[in-house]
Structures are given as structure tokens and as C-alpha cells.
Amino acid sequence: MRKIQFFDTTLRDGEQTPGVNFNTKEKVQIALQLEKWGVDVIEAGFPIASPGDFEAVQAIAQAIKKMTVTGLARCQKKDIDRAYEALKDAVDPQIHVFLATSEIHMQYKLKMTREEVLGSISEHVRYARSLFEKVQFSPEDASRTEKDFLLEAVQTAIDAGATIINIPDTVGYSSPSEYGQLFKFLIENSHSEHEIIFSSHCHDDLGMATANALAAIENGANRVEGTVNGIGERAGNTALEEVALALAIRKDFYPCESKIVLNEAKRTSELVSHLSGIPVPKNKAIVGDNAYAHESGIHQDGVLKNPETYEIITPTLVGVKQNSLPLGKLSGRHAFTSKLEELGYQLSEEESLEAFKRFKALADKKKQITDKDLLALLADQYREETEKYKLANVQVHYSSTGYQGAIISITDEKNETKVASQIGSGSIQAIYNTIDELFQQTPELTDYEIQALTGGEDAQAEVHVTLLDQETNNEFRGIGVDFDVLQASAKAYVQASNHLKQAKESI
């Protein structure tokens, strides 16, 4: 049976989602969970992009024991050298080199002729191969590249030593039959003395990323690239959990197998959702909360008689627990630590002590602590460690008529406190006007979303906000969790404001 490799780019392409910015600790934590999920290759980042990216790729290379770790590089020697430095400690390093090949990219972005592009591919893939045994080449915007020239570019990369050829549908332009046929054409017409792995990389601009990835597999691709929950720039990338389940459920149609541990899918999805600040839509395939919910009476009757009447995937297959064992205020440190390990977290002694202290404080307010509560608690702890300014206190004056008032205090890394007060048409507006004054900023609030983290009257509120910096047109996300909606809203806004301020200070 064919083996399909899974290549995860959540930490590189996924991080290009507007407003998403993982810190190094969060990236390592996600990488460790991806390894547990069974991913073959992780694209840890773009080492030359920034010192932070380099540090994260290096940290992941040192932490990972089973997966191949790769870094992205343009067809430039400085990029390749930087990737080599970041990945040299990896158990199994790989480099991913790319150069655009479509006419529109060559003419307007690269300002290079076809001959210059082929020359650059040959030179830089050859140089990358001198440093790495595994070299992946991607002709960017392949799906809009003239077929014969694409084949020439692919063959040039193979001749220069590429071991993996990735065919990216960079702008989500292709259709399944068209994309599948492109793989068939390239595989049949390229030649090599060594084995070449062909890989798909699809974007979801037309809603066909998963279908395109499966079409590539049907036509000979043995590697699929994508992200957890399908996050990524614009409409996102292929959702890896969707491909994994499609291959598992439809083995009759796809005679393939992978190393993906299916019952880690939900846990992986929730971890990425909490650390990225992007909620998973309830109707999201495979990992959405409604994926196994049945509202229709006819459906409910059928499922009660036999779940297979309307469920092609059992909830437990992807790690959705029917009966969980929540922790409570009487739970000890050992039970708490065991639960964290089950959720995929590997904390230092100091981090574990801090998390346990937060857990006990939460358990005093909430009768039972669920997995979702713990994931939110840990994500909150990770974020606070990197935030320069922290929310100290929120005081709101409410009136059923007229304006509302808020007094907010924040502390900085020197533990100095700043206080401000403002009014607004509602309590949230008053809080946000006050935080804007504290941060000396005037962003546009483009998104505010609130949802209950769990069921029940003691459920915590989870608030997501997106701020638009009108000067740079960049978006910054924040997430806040608390029993009190106003407190959660303030936490989310402070977190997004931290990201905005840090971005401004780095310019």
C-alpha cells in the first residue's frame, strides 16, 4: 500500500494568517504535538525572515526526535546558509527552496527571463544539495505556469539534485481534475536516476484545497502539504486533518496509508486554535464542535438506532471524548501533570508549578475543569510570558442610561503601573477606549467574537478580537478567557495591543 507523507506548514504558511504570531515556546509546543500526531515533515519557519524565525526553527530542530524538520529558503545563497545554520542540529534536516515560474511572477515580481530563472534554480538547488541530503524545490505559482516550462523547471531542479518536487497552487487557482492532471504530466515526463517524491501544496481561495490535494494523490503525489485547521494567508491552506480522514475512511477509493494518529486530530486542532487565537468554526469538517451533533429528529432517531446511519466518522476516531474525566479542586499535582501530558504539553518544572497554581485558582471558581479549560489556561500562560504589558485591574461603572465608564490599570516588565479612564456608549467600548489611551493608539476594531468555552452555567467566556493598524494596514489578534465577559474582553484587547505595540517598536 502506498505511503502518503504529511508535511505540516502551520508554523510557516499558517503563521502568515493575518494577526497570527506564534512565539518560540508556542512553536515548539505545536511541533511536539505535530510529532505526536504522526506528521512526517514540519516546516518550522523561514530562518532568514527574522531573528525570531531563526531562533524558532533552531529550537524546533533541537527538540524534535522523529520528524523531518525543514526551513524555507529563496533561491539565494544567504537564505540557504541561514537555513543550514538553523537546521544543523536536527535529527533529519531538509531544506525547501522556491522560485516563481509563472509568467506574471517572472515579469512583475522577479523581473527575470525564463533562462535566468532556470539558471537560478540550477545554481541554488545544487548549492542546497551540497549542504542537505533532502532538498525540496517548489516552482511558486506552478498551477499558473505554462506546462512545458514548468516541466523544464522541474527537470532542472531534479538534475541539480532535488529529491522532492512540490507543485504549489499558490493562489488557489486550480481545479481538482486540472491539478491532478498536472501531477500526472510531470511525473510521466520527468526523469531521474534517484527516487523523486512529488508533493502537493494547495490554497483554498476557491474552496478546493482539500479536493485538489486528494486529486494530486490520485495522480501520483506521495506527499501532501497543509496546515492544522486549514489556517493560512487569505482563505488558508489544505486542512491536513481533512486529508488524513479522507484517506482513512475511503480506503476503498484511496489505497493509501499514512502515519497520522487519527485520535490526536481534535487535540492538535484545539492546541493550534488556542495558540493562534483563531476559533474553529462549529461546522468545520472533522474537528468542528457540530461535526458529530445531530439536530434533525430523523437524524437523531437513525443515530440512536445505529450511528452509521448518519456518522461516517465516529467521534472517538478523531479524539472527541464521549465521556471525559474532568479535574476539580481536589485533584492533585500528579493528576494535573498526567492530564497535561495527555493533552500534549511538556512543561519544565517551573512552568508546571505556575500552571498548577493557575489551575487551583480556576478550580476554586469552577466546579469541574475540562480539557478545553486547561488548553485555554496554558495558552494564556504562554502568552503572558511574552507580553510586555499585562492587564492588572478592570473597573467598570454601569448605568442603564447615558455613557458607561471604565478605569483600567496595566503593568509593564518593570512592574510599573499605568492607570487611565474613559467613557463609551457601552461597557466594552469604555474598556477599549481606556486601553487605547494607555497604549497611545487608535486602531480599528475589525472583529469581536465571544463564545462559551464549555457548556454549563460556570462556563468561561472566550473573546477573540482583531485590531487593524491603519498606518501599516496590519492586523493583530488577541484572545482572552475569563468567567467575566468584560474581563475576558479586556484581556483579549490588551493582548492584541501588545502585538501592535511590539510591531511598531520593531520598525
Q: pLDDT tens-digit profile of 87-108?
A: 999 999 999 999 999 999 999 9
For residue 484, pLDDT over 60 is answered with yes
For residue 453, pLDDT over 80 is answered with yes
SS3 readout for 35-100: HHHCCCEEEEECCCCCHHHHHHHHHHHHHCCCCEEEEEEECCHHHHHHHHHHHCCCCCEEEEEEEE
Q: Which SS3 state, helix, strand or coil, does residue 175 take?
A: coil
Neighbour tally for 414: CB within 10 Å = 7
2-276 is a CATH 3.40.190.10 domain: no
Cell numbers at residue 148, please? 512545458
pLDDT for residue 308: 58
pLDDT for residue 364: 86
Per CATH, the homologous superfamily of domain 387-506 is: Alpha-isopropylmalate synthase LeuA, regulatory domain (3.30.160.270)
Q: Which has more pLDDT, 126 or 387? A: 126
The mean per-residue pLDDT over the stretch 121-135 comes to 98
Cell numbers at residue 252, please? 476503498
Q: Phi, psi at residue 77, to the nearest 5°?
A: -65, -35
- Do 203 and 237 meet the contact criterion of CB atoms below 8 Å apart? yes
Q: Which residue has the cell 503593568?
A: 411
Of the chain, the percentage scoring pLDDT greater than 70 comes to: 95
For residue 324, pLDDT over 80 is answered with no
Among candidates 47, 149, 136, 30, which has minimal Cα distance to 89?
Answer: 47
Q: Which has more pLDDT, 502 or 97? A: 97
pLDDT for residue 107: 96
Kindly report, residue by residue over 20-69, the tens digit of the pLDDT.
889 899 999 999 999 999 999 999 999 999 999 999 999 999 999 999 99
Kindly report, residue by residue over 259-284, the tens digit of the pLDDT.
999 999 999 998 999 889 888 998 99
Domain extents in the chain = 2-276, 292-322, 333-383, 387-506
pLDDT for residue 321: 66
Q: Which has more pLDDT, 15 or 331? A: 15
- Do 95 and 132 meet the contact criterion of CB atoms below 8 Å apart? yes
> Given pLDDT bands bounded at 50, 70 and 90, which one contains residue 229?
very high
**CA 316 → CA 264, 309, 344, distances in Å?**
10, 17, 17
pLDDT for residue 323: 41
Lowest mean pLDDT of 304-313, 316-325, 441-450, 496-505, name the range.
304-313
Question: Measured between alpha carbons, how far is 95 from 331 in angstroms, rounded to an integer?
Answer: 46
For residue 402, pLDDT over 90 is answered with no
> Given pLDDT bands bounded at 50, 70 and 90, which one contains residue 335?
confident
Q: Which residue has the cell 531563526?
A: 54
- Do 26 and 32 meet the contact criterion of CB atoms below 8 Å apart? no
pLDDT for residue 296: 44
The mean per-residue pLDDT over the stretch 313-337 comes to 75
Phi-psi label, residue 111: left if phi above 0, alpha if psi -120 to 50, beta otherwise: left
Kindly report, residue by residue over 292-322, the tens digit of the pLDDT.
764 445 444 554 566 656 567 778 888 876 5
**Torsion sign, CA atoms 200, 204, 209, 210:** positive
pLDDT for residue 337: 86
- The rounded mean pLDDT for the chain is 91
- Do 337 and 345 meet the contact criterion of CB atoms below 8 Å apart? no
- The beta-carbon contacts of 87-91 under 8 Å, at least 24 apart in sequence, are 87/47, 87/57, 87/58, 87/61, 87/132, 88/61, 89/58, 89/61, 89/62, 90/61, 90/62, 90/64, 91/64, 91/65, 91/66
Q: Which has more pLDDT, 331 or 257? A: 257
The mean per-residue pLDDT over the stretch 355-371 comes to 85
The mean per-residue pLDDT over the stretch 129-151 comes to 98
pLDDT for residue 326: 65
Cell numbers at residue 507, please? 520598525
Terminal C-alpha separation, the chain: 52
Beta partners for 164? Answer: 136, 197
